[in-house]
Structure 1
Amino acid sequence: MQAEILWVDDEIESLKSQILFLKNKGYEIIPFTNGYDALEHLKANPAADLVLLDESMPGMTGLETLAQIKETYPTVPVVMVTKNEAENIMEEAIGSQITDYLIKPVNPNQVLLSIKKILDGKRLVSEKTTLEYQKDFRNLFMALNNNPSVEEWKELYKKLVYWEVEMAKSDSPEMQEVFNTQKQEANTEFFKFVSRYYTDWIQEKKSDTPIMSHTLFEKRIAPQIKKGKPTFMVLIDNLRYDQWKSIEPIITQFFRVQEEEMFYSILPTSTQYSRNAIFSGLLPVEIEKTYPLEWKNDDEQGGKNLYEKQFLGDHLRHLKMGNIKWDYLKITNNEDGKNMEDNIHNYLRNDLTVIVYNFVDMLSHARTEMEVLKELAGDEVSYRSLTVSWFEHSPLYRALKKIADKDIQLIITTDHGTMRVKTPSKCVGDKTTTTNLRYKHGRNIQYEEKDVFAITNPHEAGLPQPNVNSKYIFAKGDVFLCYPNNYNHYVNYYRNTFQHGGVSLEEVIVPLIRLTSK
């Protein structure tokens, strides 16, 4: 079906050759010499695909015509094609939400390019994306099968996230399926990689040991903190790399990315372990030894993340940074967020302000419990979209905008990511076994060996050992661990929910971004 384009210009006779050119390209062009006739046509035929509109017309001007079109037909794209180069006209047209602005004289290909970008852009992007991924597919396949190193896994994951975001623009379910299979294979290989080297990393036996949760602050954040220059460290709980890439265009309106890094979360990829390790600079087994009253194992009563500020203070003193002025805020609800927003300028007096923001973590847990959120965040695409919507309207973003004109440094990071679980695996344990779906520890755990990374000597992995026979198991890829009791109910309840604690690219390799004010 031909696209219908209205061309409104008081000198329409002079545009006959251009109109003929576009008709030969398959477009139906309906010419008008004034805005009144174009609006009458739209009233009777509101299905126009595009309007090409001159600004300098006698009677009703182009801007007046534009205002009426936008008021009655807000979804119809309008392109100004005019001799008028006045900046105020351009600004008014842009403010009135025109789709493009072309200055006469224009050649036919300029008009064609604008039309294609507007009417065929989505299809062309989809086709190009599919073609480019097909070209890159073999490169990714070769890289995955070439025993990637710690750094190469980061680059591979970045590339996979790039294609995941790009493939969301594609209308090819077949290519989407190919990509999903490739990403699943990547997670299988990454699981083997982590299982092979994890205890060596913890014991620092390898030269390419990655930056991990417990070494992150000392090696990557502390060196950036300068006395007299406010640094805001924002830790958004549960923020995956693809979610960062989704909110990056929003935040870079006000801040400039200086460095984008990634680090490896320790296991389990859960808040109690990874976030406490970040702020204390210690492995969980060391936290338990140093802070026996504050550390709580999974099977013990009490809050698991109540002492982060204390851990951070002690860590700063250990790093001989006790002379810096710092503060720590934890935002767990909207009221806390608004208080932080209202007082954000007060924190400019600090050398370091740490803000822990729990929304993404709450979103993933709420999504499991609330049917409406299961609909809103049913897959990775909608999960990213929901994150963007939250961030755009959050007190956090409003607070950052308030201080964007100050000479500050902003560090955005997280403690771990999440994985959309799809594959159930039966697991049996006694009453002391933890209930987490992506990892468990206890004394008598039975499990499918192919589905988990098991650590029988927790101290080798930097983990507490509550009982002499305690072991940890971590689910691979998209596996989630279910007890046999009422198995089918829990499988159906938790399948396709976002969980954390296990071994996947999404949970383990997470972002660390350093930005400065523009």
Structure 2
Amino acid sequence: MMEKSRGKILWVDDEIDHLKPHILFLEEKGYTIATCANGRDGISLSKEIVFDLVLLDQFMPGLDGMETLREIKENNPALPIIMITKSEEEWLMDEAISEKIAHFLIKPVNPNQIFMACKQVLEKIKIRSEKTTSGYLQEFQKIELDIEDSVSFNDWWKIYSRLVKWQLDFDEQKEPSLNQILNEQIQTSNRQFTHFVQDHYENWVSGTDSPNLSTDIFSKFVQPILEKNEKVCLLVMDAMRLDQFMALYPLLAENYSIRIEPSSSILPSATPFSRNAIFSGLFPEEFCRKYPDQLDAMVEDKGSLNQLEHIFLKDQLARTGLVDKSLHYHKIWMVEEGQKFQSRVGEYLNMDLLAIVINFVDQLAHRRSESDVLKEMVPDESGYRHAVRVWYENSWIRSVLAELGSAGYKVVITSDHGSIMVNRSSMVAADKHSSSGVRHKHGRNINANDKSAIDIRNLDTYKLPSLGHQHNYLLAKDDYFFLYPNEQHKYKNMLKGSFQHGGISMEEMMVPIFIMDPK
């Protein structure tokens, strides 16, 4: 039985007769080789036969290599081309790179060099897939053991970071069976992580063995930069998860050197609590006590509950002895607002502190739950990562960060919390005055199954405000979401498979802090 070819290669070179040893070597390695001695014949043959790769010389009679390349690409834009030429001219390299060649080799080349280049172009996806598969299966048991042995937040951060690494690797491989194993391991991790948080969170808020919390973002990472009389931008990407941050890392690293610090959202892992904690440097009970207007807004539970962030941040500057530092705060919901900010960013470059809040990621999650089209475009967590990356690649904030870097700003990027895809519903017994959260609820003596929720009644130990008589909080565990009995079927179908926040999970609570120095 004839062995399957490793790939069909077209080699175009006016000295093709001198390359027979190289051709025989590639054929022995399993490739099928077709040859042409000039560009015009190469173009014609590439239209008649489907090739996997083209090897192309630059200096040939008639059409040269670059002209041949452009015509071949016009017929088949996806066909990879390796240029093999005697020329070391930089202009030719620039031209070839601009035409997106797969490799540039300078003669003389030995057969092994050409073989390695062909192998990399034609088989890199297969090789990476095999290595990724074997690598994860080898590490699976190590992660399971580390889950059992984890005793600190840093232990959990390392576990979740490794799981996120595999998520990003699997995004390229499209292996459904492996994704299922990884998702099950993340679910197992979340169950154990929930127990860990229940055992340690009260100590964290009292300052014992606590990780970096939402309340520490300014004092630990922004304040030291200001005290050195350096300019800094605090950028809060609402509801962005660790995996989404890591998907953006290569793009952010184009203009900045990045140091990553771990942190945890406070509870509930929801914007009225955790983002207000970032800007105030206070826990919810503390900022509600200090700012009666904030307490009134949270009791009413209507409209935006983050209207005082600018005041919170100004007061935090004053409390830390930085009252003389100039500040510009900007919250951006819509693309038009962002583009307007981009056009005027030059007006703010004299500010000591720029604070920017961007709501795109959170809005995408909310709009997705309401739109069948978006559910098709963002079907799962991998799709969510891809959507966030595509948004950032084309967004106004990418240009703003480049300009801030050029102006010498250091940038601290973080989020108030992440989100988790919810799949299981849990009924809540509550009156009509209870809050509307999907992963967290508060109200008068509200109840849910212990399997699906943590019931917080001693509010002081979590530093949560009492928002009414006999008030308690419910925080969802694992991938549960809360429903009220009325219209439960309607909301169950609407919310299942959506991205929500407010509860306890690695995805919601484990938030990176990117400290970025301009290159």
Task: Indicate whether the TM-score tops 0.5.
Answer: yes
* Residue 221, structure 1, aligned to residue 225, structure 2: no
Q: Does 1:39 align with 2:40?
A: no
What is aligned with 1:351? Answer: 352
Query: Which amino acid in 1 is paired with 2:291?
Result: Y
Match of 2:141 among 138, 142, 147: 138
Partner of 2:489: 488
> Is 1:291 aligned to 2:291, yes or no?
yes
CA displacement 1:338-358 (0-9 Å, x = unmatched): 121012122221111111111
Measured against aligned partners, the alpha-carbon deviations of 1:93-149 in whole angstroms (never above 9, x if no partner) come to: 111111111111212222122112211111110100011112211221111001330
Worse-matched range after superposition: 483-492 or 359-368 = 483-492
**Quick check: 2:150–2:156 contact (8 Å CA) kept in 1?**
no
CA contact (8 A) 2:329 2:354 kept: yes
| Structure 1 counterpart SS, 2:357 | strand
Superposition CA RMSD, Å: 1.4
**Retained in 2: the 8 A contact 1:345–1:403?**
no
1:266 matches 2:266 = yes
AA at the equivalent of 1:6: L
Residue 171 of structure 1: CA displacement?
4.3
Contact preservation (8 Å) 2:239, 2:418: yes
Query: Which residue of structure 2 lines up, in the alignment, with residue 201 of structure 1?
Result: 204
Q: Does 2:70 align with 1:64?
A: no
Alpha-carbon distance in structure 1 between the residues aligned to 2:315 and 2:214: 16
**Bigger Cα displacement from structure 2, 294-303 vs 390-399:** 294-303
CA distance in 2, matches of 1:419, 1:100: 41
The answer to whether structure 1 residue 18 and structure 2 residue 19 are counterparts is no
The answer to whether the 8 Å contact 1:125/1:169 transfers is no
Match of residue 190 from structure 2: 187
CA distance in 2, matches of 1:299, 1:369: 25
Q: Mark the CA change 1:381 to 1:302 in structure 2 (over 3 Å): closer, same or farther.
A: closer
Shift of 1:56: 1.1
**CA contact 1:264–1:510 (8 Å) conserved in 2:** yes
C-alpha contact (below 8 Å) 2:274/2:417 kept by paired residues: yes
Distance in 1 separating the partners of 2:511 and 2:51: 46
Residues 95 and 300 from structure 1, CA distance in 2 versus in 1: closer, same or farther, beyond 3 angstroms?
Answer: closer
3-state SS of 1:340 partner:
helix
Report the Cα offset of residue 382 of structure 1.
0.7
Are the equivalent residues in 2 in contact too, given 1:439–1:475 (CA < 8 A)? yes
Aligned-partner residue type, residue 335 of structure 1: E
Q: CA deviation at 1:227?
A: 5.8
Contact residue 298 and residue 434 of structure 1 kept, 8 A = no
CA contact (8 A) 1:227 1:324 kept: no
> Quick one: which amino acid aligns to residue 157 of structure 1?
Y
Helix, strand or coil for the counterpart of 2:406?
coil
Q: 1:281-303, CA deviations, whole angstroms, 9 ceiling, x for partnerless residues? A: 11111111111123322643343
Q: Does residue 81 in structure 1 map to residue 84 in structure 2?
A: yes
Deviation at 1:330, TM superposition (A): 0.9
1:285-323, Cα deviation, whole Å (9 max, x unpaired): 111111112332264334311110001001110111101
What per-residue deviation string (whole Å, max 9, x for no partner) do you get for residues 349-393 of structure 1?
111111111111111111111221111111111101100111111
Pair 1:297–1:18, CA change in 2 (3 A): same
Which residue of the partner structure matches residue 282 of structure 2? 282
Residue 57 of structure 2 corresponds to which residue in structure 1?
54
1:6 to 1, 10, 26: 10
For 1:11 and 1:309, how far apart are their aligned partners in 2?
Answer: 71
- Asked whether the equivalents of residues 299 and 433 of structure 1 are also in contact (C-alpha less than 8 Å), the reply is no
1:51 Cα deviation after fit: 0.5
**1:467 is aligned to 2:461:** no
Larger deviation: 224-233 or 213-222?
Answer: 224-233
What is aligned with 1:310?
311
TM-score (norm 1): 0.96
Tell me the equivalent position of 2:396.
395
Partner-residue secondary structure (3-state), 1:6: strand
Alignment of 1:235-274 (within 5 A): 235-257=236-258, 259-274=259-274
Q: For 1:412 and 1:216, locate their aligned partners in 2 and report how far apart those are by CA, in whole Å.
A: 10
Task: Please state if 1:170 is matched with 2:173.
Answer: yes
The farther-off stretch of 29-38 and 163-172 is 163-172
Gaps of 5+ in 1: none
Equivalent positions of 1:440-479 (< 5 A) are 440-479=441-480
Q: Provide the rounded CA distance (Å) in 2 between the counterparts of 1:346 and 1:232.
A: 14
Gap change, CA 1:29 and 1:456, over 3 Å in 2 = same
The equivalent of 2:234 in structure 1 is: 233
- What is the distance in 2 between the residues matched to 1:113 and 1:444? 68
Letter of the 2:78 counterpart: T
Distance 1:50 1:503 in 2: 50
1:417 is displaced (CA, Å) by 0.5
* Distance change >3 Å, CA 217–CA 404, structure 1 → 2: closer
Output one character per residue of 1:425-450: Cα deviation in whole Å (capped at 9) or x when no partner: 22221111212110111123231101
Q: Cα distance, 1:494 vs. partner? A: 1.1
**Alpha carbons of structure 1 residues 149 and 287: separation in structure 2 relative to 1, 3 Å:** same
Superposition misfits of 4+ residues, deviation over 3 angstroms: 298-302
Residue matched to 1:322: 323
Give the counterpart of 2:163 among 138, 160, 165: 160
Partners in 2 of 1:186 and 1:299 — Cα distance? 36
One-letter amino acid matched to 1:468? H
Quote how far apart the aligned CAs of 1:226 are.
4.1
Give yes or no for contact 2:299–2:468 (8 Å, CA) kept in 1.
Answer: no
Structure 2 unmatched runs, 5+: none
- What whole-Å deviation, never above 9, does each CA across 1:47-77 have from its counterpart, x for those lacking one? 2111100111111100110111122211111
How many angstroms apart in 1 are the aligned matches of 2:245 and 2:299? 29
Residue-pair matches, total:
514
Q: Secondary structure, in 3 states, of the residue corresponding to 1:5?
A: strand
Query: Identity of counterpart residues, as a percentage?
Result: 38
Amino acid at match of 1:41: L
Q: 1:93 aligns with which of 91, 96, 111?
A: 96
Deviation at 1:394, TM superposition (A): 1.0
SS of the counterpart of 1:260? strand
Structure 2 CA distance, aligned partners of 1:51 and 1:147?
Answer: 52
For residue 228 of structure 1, report the CA deviation from its aligned partner: 4.4
Secondary structure of the corresponding residue to residue 404 of structure 1: helix
